[in-house]
């Protein structure tokens, strides 16, 4: 709890709290004053830094001074009673929770198994790519560490009774306030599947994730249109003020699909590599580069003329490529192909 803020110096007060009591607070049955006035363990801590390493100092008091206490009656209750399940699950797993419900147009809980599998797969691919794009947009340092699959992959652990409402949890990195890094992807995913009134504003959002996120979104909405599906997306993380909910039926899917069809350039993904060439085959028009940033080798294809006169191993190049993900089936892994557009020698 923030107790003071003067001249850019913040002071916080903290107490230990059990998961059951935290759930009571987040559900609105326990007010903030009671949390701090009557903690389960009679010990209070103060701190000012919210960096990775927090230095907390224990207060030498038997009871918290009244000046520190908030007014009685302040409760945290920004979600419907029907959202209690996802809120409680988020606290249990100490991370973000997603509920993904799939049904036919009549909202009956009976759909083709292929539809269920494909929608789940496409959703995970969009989430992964929006998450990675947001890392770039926000210029996050040490991106390699954040690219770990645990930060964008979801695991199914339950489903709602009598429905294809799958409950998934995240294992992504979190900070002391409950911010899970997967929220970067979830927030952006929410933005690109939500309804819109202004097409130009919607295009601006799409341009921030252009590439695989857009091409996969196009596959998702096309599937919803063709099979008359309804996809309901709900997510929550411990630090969020509310449960986020979006629903896409065939009408909204058609609206999104028309915008995507009119803006084909949004689906093209450009990839830059900097490093030395490991292999070149001019006759076949193939190459392999060792990328310095992530210390990984990537293969690709090219017009043979672009490969003429290049040096292997001892010279660094900058390669600009088009990245293509081939048609994907649920049971298969993605096949990524890089087409060389240009290459130049660098120091």
Residues 141 and 109 in one domain: yes
What is the average pLDDT score of the chain? 87
- Does residue 74 form part of some domain? no
Per-residue model confidence as pLDDT tens digits over 104-157: 877 666 678 888 889 999 999 999 999 999 998 888 777 777 888 999 999 999
SS3 172: coil
What pLDDT is attached to residue 240?
Answer: 85
- Does residue 14 form part of some domain? yes
Sheet of strand 9-14: strand arrangement: 2-6, 9-14, 45-47, 57-58
**Angle, to 10 degrees, between the axis of helix 19-26 and the axis of helix 84-93?**
150
- Would you say residue 82 has pLDDT above 60? yes
Read off the CATH number of the domain in which 289 is found. Answer: 2.40.50.140
Q: Are 116 and 164 in contact (CB under 8 A)?
A: yes
Name the β-bridge partners of 338: 323
Residues 132 and 263 in one domain: yes
Residues 57 and 178 in one domain: no
Residues 36 and 171 in one domain: no
What pLDDT is attached to residue 330?
Answer: 44
pLDDT band at 81 (very low <50, low <70, confident <90, very high): low
Give percent above pLDDT 90 in the chain. Answer: 53
Six-digit token string for 190: 């929410």
Q: Which domain holds residue 10?
A: 2-68
Q: Contacts by 324-332 with C-beta closer than 8 Å and gap 24+?
A: 324/269, 325/212, 325/215, 325/216, 328/121, 328/125, 330/114, 330/117, 330/118, 330/120, 330/121
SS3 18: coil
- State the pTM of this model: 0.69
Per-residue model confidence as pLDDT tens digits over 292-330: 988 899 999 999 999 999 999 999 999 999 887 664 444
**How far apart are alpha carbons 135 and 344 in whole angstroms?**
27
Residues 6 and 146 in one domain: no
**How far apart are alpha carbons 215 and 125 in whole angstroms?**
10
Q: What is the DSSP letter of 81?
A: G
Q: Are 231 and 102 in contact (CB under 8 A)?
A: yes
Residues 168 and 229 in one domain: yes
Per-residue model confidence as pLDDT tens digits over 17-70: 988 888 778 767 888 999 999 999 999 999 887 776 788 899 999 888 888 888
Contacts of 30 (CB under 8 A, 6+ apart): 21, 24, 75
What pLDDT is attached to residue 163?
Answer: 63
Name the β-bridge partners of 154: 170
**Helical spans, DSSP H, in the chain:** 19-26, 32-37, 84-93, 113-137, 143-146, 183-193, 199-207, 212-227, 250-261
What pLDDT is attached to residue 2?
Answer: 87
Residues 310 and 211 in one domain: no
Domain count, the chain: 3
* Phi, psi angles (nearest 5°) of residue 259: -65, -45
Type and span of the H or E element at 105: none
**How far apart are alpha carbons 185 and 132 in whole angstroms?**
7
Six-digit token string for 257: 């699909």
Domain boundary among 16, 33, 68: 68
Residues 302 and 289 in one domain: yes
Give percent above pLDDT 70 in the chain. Answer: 92
Domain boundary among 68, 95, 112: 68
């Amino acid at each position: 709890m923030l107790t003071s803020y003067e001249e850019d110096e913040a002071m916080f007060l903290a107490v230990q709290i059990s998961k059951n009591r935290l759930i009571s607070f987040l559900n609105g049955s326990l007010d903030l004053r009671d949390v701090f006035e009557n903690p389960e363990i009679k010990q209070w801590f103060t701190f000012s830094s919210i960096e990775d390493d927090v230095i907390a100092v224990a207060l030498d008091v038997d009871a918290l001074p009244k000046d520190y206490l908030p007014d009685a009656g302040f409760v945290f209750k920004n979600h419907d009673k029907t959202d209690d399940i996802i809120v409680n699950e988020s606290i249990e797993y100490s991370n973000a929770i997603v509920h993904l419900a799939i049904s036919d147009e009549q909202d009956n809980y009976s759909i083709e198994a292929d539809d269920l599998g494909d929608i789940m797969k496409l959703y995970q691919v969009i989430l992964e790519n929006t998450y990675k794009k947001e890392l770039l947009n926000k210029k996050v340092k040490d991106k390699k560490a954040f690219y770990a699959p645990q930060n964008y992959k979801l695991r199914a652990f339950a489903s709602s009774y009598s429905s294809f409402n799958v409950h998934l949890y995240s294992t992504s990195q979190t900070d002391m306030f409950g911010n899970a890094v997967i929220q970067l992807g979830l927030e952006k995913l929410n933005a690109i599947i939500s309804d819109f009134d202004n097409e130009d504003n919607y295009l601006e959002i799409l341009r921030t994730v252009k590439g695989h996120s857009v091409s996969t979104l196009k596959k998702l909405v096309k599937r919803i249109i063709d099979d008359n599906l309804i996809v309901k997306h709900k997510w929550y993380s411990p630090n969020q003020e509310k449960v986020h909910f979006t629903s896409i039926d065939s009408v909204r899917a058609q609206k999104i699909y028309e915008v995507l069809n009119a803006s084909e350039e949004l689906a093209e993904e450009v990839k830059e590599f900097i490093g030395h060439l490991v292999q070149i085959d001019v006759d076949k028009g193939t190459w392999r580069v060792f990328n310095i940033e992530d210390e990984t080798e990537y293969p690709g294809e090219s017009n043979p003329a672009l490969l003429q006169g290049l040096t292997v191993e001892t010279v660094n190049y900058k390669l600009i490529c088009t990245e293509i993900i081939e048609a994907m089936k649920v049971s298969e892994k993605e096949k990524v192909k890089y087409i060389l557009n240009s290459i130049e020698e660098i120091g």
